[in-house]
């Protein structure tokens, strides 16, 4: 049986980065507000651990996205499949990513994909055209994390 997974990405503004990647990948931004409210009401979570983003209560410093077709827990909003979790850290990004995502366009749709990603806040870094081996752009998300659009 295949395992579920999540990729954890350090960030400076987890909710904003989750919004970017949710839109970029067409994933669902998880909504933990019901769980946060329940934990607050039970006294198991302090107000200092909570933030508000887009009118919802979230865990301060954390946000996640999940594939829209994958199962998720209805109470917590946590995905049980393909998932990206963003967690705030105090230090800035330093150096090149050791791991990155590749976003694949429909055949012939690279220009439209790159334009859409730029409208969301990504920037182009470098274009690669290897003929039959592939054509792609190295890009950066709003916090400078590299990824490829192919």
Q: What is the 3-state secondary structure (H, E, C) of the chain?
A: CCCCEEEEEEECCHHHHHHHHHHHHCCEECCCHHHHHHHHHCCCCCHHHEEEECCEEEECCEEEEECCCCCECCCCCCECCEEEEEEECCCCCCCCCCCCCEECCCCCCHHHHHHHHHHHCCEEEEEEECHHHCEEEEEECCCCCEEEEC
Q: Across residues 63-82, what is the average pLDDT?
A: 94
pLDDT (0 to 100) of residue 96: 87
Question: What value does the mean pLDDT take over residues 37-47?
Answer: 96
Instruction: Give yes or no for residue 3 having a pLDDT over 80.
Output: no
Residue 104 CA to residue 16 CA, distance in Å, equals 22
For residues 72 and 78, what is the distance between their CA atoms, to the nearest angstrom?
Answer: 5
Residue pLDDT, tens place only, 75-107: 889 999 999 999 999 998 888 888 999 999 999
At residue 127, the pLDDT reads 97
Q: Phi/psi of residue 99, each to 5°?
A: -145, 140
Q: Do residues 17 and 101 lie in contact, with contact meaning Cβ atoms separated by under 8 Å?
A: no
Q: In the predicted model, is pLDDT for residue 1 greater than 90?
A: no
pLDDT at 98 (0 to 100):
87
């Amino acid at each position: 049986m295949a395992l579920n997974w999540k990729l954890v990405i350090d960030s400076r503004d987890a909710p904003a980065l989750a919004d970017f990647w949710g839109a970029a990948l067409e994933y669902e931004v998880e909504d933990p507000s019901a769980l946060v409210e329940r934990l607050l009401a039970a006294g198991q979570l302090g107000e200092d651990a909570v933030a508000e983003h887009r009118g919802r209560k979230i865990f301060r410093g954390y946000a996640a996205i999940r594939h829209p077709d994958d199962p998720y827990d209805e109470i917590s909003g946590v995905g049980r499949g393909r998932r990206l979790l963003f967690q705030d850290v105090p230090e800035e990004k330093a150096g090149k990513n050791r791991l990155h995502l590749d976003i694949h366009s429909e055949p012939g749709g690279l220009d439209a994909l790159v334009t859409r990603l730029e409208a969301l806040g990504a920037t182009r870094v470098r274009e690669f055209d290897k003929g039959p081996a592939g054509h792609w752009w190295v890009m950066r998300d709003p916090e400078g994390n590299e990824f490829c659009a192919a």
